[in-house]
């Protein structure tokens, strides 16, 4: 079974020869220490690429002003013009190759919500040919996903930050619903556009992690994630597509909500301490309806020994690979530590080789 066939069967819930094995690939920029790992992943792992469908949305008029902020950061102020007034975002951009961060969000209060809601829906238009180029390039090494970016709830939370979202969910809940409905409409238009252009069948979406415990409970998860994600996923399913959902966090309380919205693949399902549910516990809740992608904690790829990764991978397969389907073994995130590619190489190799050896063992047993 080649990688394209294997991942396809994972997404569609069919039996496979062995679990798939995959890693996200947002490596540190210009870091040659990861070259050997990149080559090994390219040769031996199941692979994915993506086409960013939100890039088909018409951009709103914005003005950007860059100025010095400190010895370590530049300040980039973005002004978004709306029919009801201006919204301002401030981003601090590192001068020393460190991550940047938001200092000020576009939406700070209810009046800013009204300003944002006054914006017209963006026009959806653009060239989708890059998707087909990626498919041709990928061949049988894997699949190409149509990436939808943040879900409606995550898009809204990203406009204002988690604290403001949580406060407005108490004081101005209907404004949040109005914003989420607006974003759902945009997502539906994007999905319809790309389906009409022949893209699919694999789609990916994230952002649900903004609205999970401990900051939000099951009511908020259902109200702001399930309610607005389900129509989008239903539209994809009606066209014969399948949907990958990426969501970090404590998911035990809300896991069945991913079933309700229609997720086909869920990543990364983290055990304690970063999450609150094991792969085996998740499998008991999800049954065979959702493929689990995960859940080797990314820090372990740098801090554990190869032998420990072998043990962790074997346990994950035992717990989550039920009836020969439903598992993509994967770290919880991309390799992320600058200059540490050699540090994690043997751990990645141990994970990949352990999964592949299962397939070889099965093949030997069947001959």
Per-residue pLDDT of the chain (367 residues; tens, 9 = 90+): 999 999 999 999 999 999 999 999 999 989 999 999 999 999 999 999 999 999 999 999 899 999 999 999 999 999 999 999 999 999 999 998 788 899 999 999 999 999 999 999 999 999 999 999 999 999 999 999 999 999 999 999 999 999 999 999 999 999 999 999 999 999 999 999 999 999 999 999 999 999 999 999 999 999 999 999 999 999 999 999 999 999 999 999 999 999 999 999 999 999 999 999 999 999 999 999 999 999 999 999 999 999 999 999 999 999 999 999 999 999 999 999 999 999 999 999 999 999 999 866 665 455 4
DSSP single-letter state for residue 139: G
Phi-psi domain of 292 (left: phi exceeds 0; alpha: psi -120 through 50; beta: other): beta
DSSP single-letter state for residue 59: P
* Residues contacting residue 266 through CB under 8 Å, at least 6 positions apart: 244, 245, 247, 258, 282, 286, 290, 291, 292, 293
Parallel, antiparallel or unpaired: strands 73-82 and 142-150? unpaired
Identify the pLDDT of residue 313: 97
HSE, side-chain direction, 13 A CA sphere, residue 236: 30
Helices (H), ranges, the chain: 3-11, 35-44, 110-117, 129-138, 152-160, 162-171, 173-196, 218-221, 227-238, 255-261, 279-286, 300-303, 306-320, 341-365
Domains of the chain, by residue range, sit at 3-60+109-365, 61-108
Which CATH number describes the domain made up of 3-60+109-365? 3.20.20.210
Parallel, antiparallel or unpaired: strands 202-206 and 47-52? unpaired
Q: CA gyration radius for the chain?
A: 21
HSE, side-chain direction, 13 A CA sphere, residue 277: 24
pTM of the model: 0.95
How far apart CA 12 and CA 8 sit, in angstroms, is 6
Q: Which residue has the tokens 């309380």?
A: 253
Identify the pLDDT of residue 361: 66
Q: What are phi and psi of 155, to 5 degrees?
A: -65, -45
């Amino acid at each position: 079974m080649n990688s394209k066939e294997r991942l396809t069967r994972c997404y569609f819930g069919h039996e496979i020869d062995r679990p798939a094995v995959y890693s996200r690939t947002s490596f540190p920029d210009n870091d040659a220490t990861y070259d050997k790992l990149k080559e090994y992943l390219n040769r031996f792992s199941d692979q994915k690429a993506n086409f960013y469908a939100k890039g088909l949305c018409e951009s709103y008029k914005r003005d950007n002003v860059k100025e010095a902020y400190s010895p370590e950061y530049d300040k980039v102020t973005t002004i978004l013009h709306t029919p009801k007034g201006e919204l301002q975002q401030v981003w601090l951009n590192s001068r020393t190759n460190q991550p940047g961060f938001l200092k000020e969000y576009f939406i700070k209060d209810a009046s800013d919500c009204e300003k944002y809601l006054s914006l017209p829906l963006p026009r959806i238009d653009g060239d989708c040919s890059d998707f087909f180029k990626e498919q041709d390039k990928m061949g049988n090494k894997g699949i190409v996903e149509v990436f939808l970016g943040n879900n409606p709830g995550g898009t809204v939370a990203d406009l204002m930050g988690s604290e403001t979202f949580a406060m407005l969910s108490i004081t101005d809940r209907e404004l949040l619903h109005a914003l989420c409905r607006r974003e759902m409409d945009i997502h539906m238009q994007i999905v319809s556009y790309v389906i009409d252009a022949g893209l699919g069948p694999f789609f990916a979406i994230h952002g649900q992690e903004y609205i999970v415990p401990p900051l939000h409970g099951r009511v908020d998860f259902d109200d702001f994630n399930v309610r607005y994600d389900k129509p989008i996923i239903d539209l994809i399913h009606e066209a014969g597509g399948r949907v990958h959902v990426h969501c970090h966090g404590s998911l035990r309380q809300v896991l069945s909500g991913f079933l309700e919205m229609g997720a086909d693949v869920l990543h990364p399902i983290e055990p304690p301490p970063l999450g609150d549910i094991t792969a085996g516990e998740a499998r008991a809740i999800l049954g065979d309806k959702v493929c689990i992608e995960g859940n080797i904690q990314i820090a372990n790829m740098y801090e554990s020994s190869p032998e420990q990764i072998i043990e962790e991978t074997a346990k994950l397969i035992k717990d989550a690979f039920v009836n020969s389907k439903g598992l993509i073994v994967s770290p919880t995130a991309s390799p992320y530590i600058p200059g540490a590619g050699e540090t994690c190489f043997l751990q990645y190799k141990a994970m990949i080789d352990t999964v592949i050896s299962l397939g070889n063992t099965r093949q030997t047993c069947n001959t």
